[in-house]
Chain A
Amino acid sequence: MQAVNRFEFDLLSILQSVLGRVPVEQVLPKWKQPQAKPRGLHQQTVRLIEQMLAKGIVGRIARDDGWCRRRFLRDGEPVDGSLWQRTSPDQLGLTFSPQSIDLLLWLTSSSGSEGIPAWKPNPFVSKQDVTDGDRLIQYWIAKAAAETSLLTKWYRHEPFISNELISIALPDRFAEVDSTPALDFERWILNETSWLLEVLQNDFERWLVRAWNVKNRLIDADRVLAMSRIEDGVLQHYLRAADACMRPDLCRFVLMAARHVLHESLSVRDWLQSVNLNHLKAADRMEFYRAAATLPRAVNQMAQWHRNSATVHFLDDDYQASQLLKSIWESMDGDRLNQQAERMLAELEF
């Protein structure tokens, strides 16, 4: 049994919730309660953090989507199986810089809801030293915070603002605080940790569905417009990056989300009927509808990829990628989804 002080205990509890081992609600009071930040942590606590990260991250990734049998590209070839079958475990390692510990110290010492002190980056950790492991921890923290509808002000702060995983999974949060999300998705896709984008497909899908349903309930047109523009910017950047890197398989979540929300006979106007557009003139209304139709536009773009894939020959570099796209498209009933998407987009032509 190892003894830790009160602050360290709270820090470890917060880490447990970030790793999904305890519900966020259980540690929420610790997040909200500001505490004096100690000058450092005891060595045994640092060891405990290391152990928790080593076991907790594997556990969480496995639970989230890692266990599912999926098909993704590896070096241009489709590979079937769970994450551990698609990628050898020695290539799945994540490293962490001292920034993750700093972030946990900051979280534990700051009051979460109001007046949080600005994040001060560790002067001994340069931006280049920050690892994808750090970014994954930041993403899970942001996600846990978003689920409790707290801490929206975090998004004004580094390091959250420069994390692409947060940009794609929680773009609407950036609209709430009028921030610009990070968009360097190519780096993620080309990186050896691109498997993280595979296991987060369900998260990305949930974001798209959530964004769709939120717009269906909101009344304030300006808010919907701000959200839509950020979402569209993020999604379009992501799709362009996936296309440029020949990884259409990483866009499966677009079709997964579309299957939930693009129903036959649904019109854009019916979907956004709760939004008050009385103060807008016809051209501004059209502009509003066009901006809001993020998902149909993305589906339509993937339909274009699918059409292009028919012209890819066996000897072309992207033959396997296009074959996998075809199989994803067919398994998700892409033609039907695109029909709905085109019908909705046609409504906005005038």
Chain B
Amino acid sequence: MSRAFRVTVKETVRRVIHAEDHVRTQLEMLEVLPCDQMMELLSKELVSLGFERDGTALSRTDGNARVVIRLEDGTVVVESASREDLEIEGKRSVRVFEESGKSEEQVRDLLSKQIQADVNEETQEKQSELQTELTDQLESQLADLRLELDQACNRATAAALKQKAAQLGQIKEMTEDSQSGSLTIVVEL
């Protein structure tokens, strides 16, 4: 008659998972005035939106996302990163018959390896979930950011047009429609 015994292994594993994502785009502006003047006008608009200037770069942090705008070439980079501390508990148990010839230590090793595999799988799943969540969040922020940046560019262009018109002659009339974004300037040369 063979005797059976049950071996149970329980392990708690701590892991840190990271997710990051970024997108890059280019701001497009009409060169109404020389490049450095256009940069200054845009910079002014961006600072009013909460960006901080550091040399020719401006940056702002929105939640997980950090927006960096390089004025010299109009590049916009939005980076987002997130991390999560995981505590995963794994438990495995098996009934072993004495006649199988396996010692308790061997069985424990085997179960421990299985738990490691389970933990790795779960970590992978959590990692994917975190990445998807981060990307979804970043994607939803982009629509608002695009609108904000477009408006800043439009305002900077309008300011540049006013300056240019003033250089050309005397401004007689100026009509601005904030809804359609149209600007009409009548200049007497």
**A positions within 8 Å CB-CB of B:** 278-283, 285-286, 346-347, 349-350
Task: Knowing A350-B25, A350-B146, say if A282 contacts B139 (CB, 8 Å).
Answer: yes
Residue contact B128 to A350, C-beta cutoff 8 Å: no
> What bracket does the count of chain B residues touching chain A fall in?
10 to 19
In the bound complex, residues from chain B placing their C-beta under 8 Å from that of A346 are: 146
Q: In the complex, are the beta carbons of A282 and B143 less than 8 A apart?
A: no
Contact (Cβ within 8 A) B146 A282: no
Q: Which residue of B lies closest to A283 (CB)?
A: B23
* Residues on B with beta carbons closer than 8 Å to the beta carbon of A285: 135, 139
Contact between chains at B145 and A278 (CB < 8 Å): no
Chain B 145-164: CB-based contact to A (< 8 A → 1; otherwise 0):
11000000000000000000
Q: How far is the CA of A347 from the CA of B25 in the complex (A)?
A: 13
Least CB distance from B147 to A in Å reads 9
With A350-B142, A350-B145: A282-B23 Cβ-Cβ less than 8 Å: yes
Does B24 sit at the interface, judged by CB under 8 A? yes
Sorted nearest first, the 6 A-B pairs with minimum C-beta distance are A278-B132, A350-B142, A350-B146, A282-B23, A283-B23, A282-B138
Assess whether A282 is in contact with B135, with CB atoms less than 8 Å apart.
yes
Query: How many cross-chain pairs have Cβ atoms below 8 Å apart between A and B?
Result: 34
Known: A285-B139, A350-B145. A278 touches B128 (CB 8 A): yes
The answer to whether B21 has its CB under 8 Å from any CB of chain A is yes
Q: B102-144 interface mask toward A, CB cutoff 8 Å, 1 = contact, 0 = none?
A: 0000000000000000000000000010011001001100110
Across the interface, which residues of A come within 8 angstroms of B21, CB to CB?
A: 281-283
Residues of B close to A349: CB separation below 8 A: 25, 146
19 of the cross-chain contacts (CB-CB < 8 Å) are A279-B132, A280-B135, A281-B131, A282-B21, A282-B22, A282-B23, A282-B80, A282-B138, A282-B139, A282-B142, A283-B24, A285-B139, A286-B23, A347-B143, A349-B146, A350-B25, A350-B78, A350-B142, A350-B145
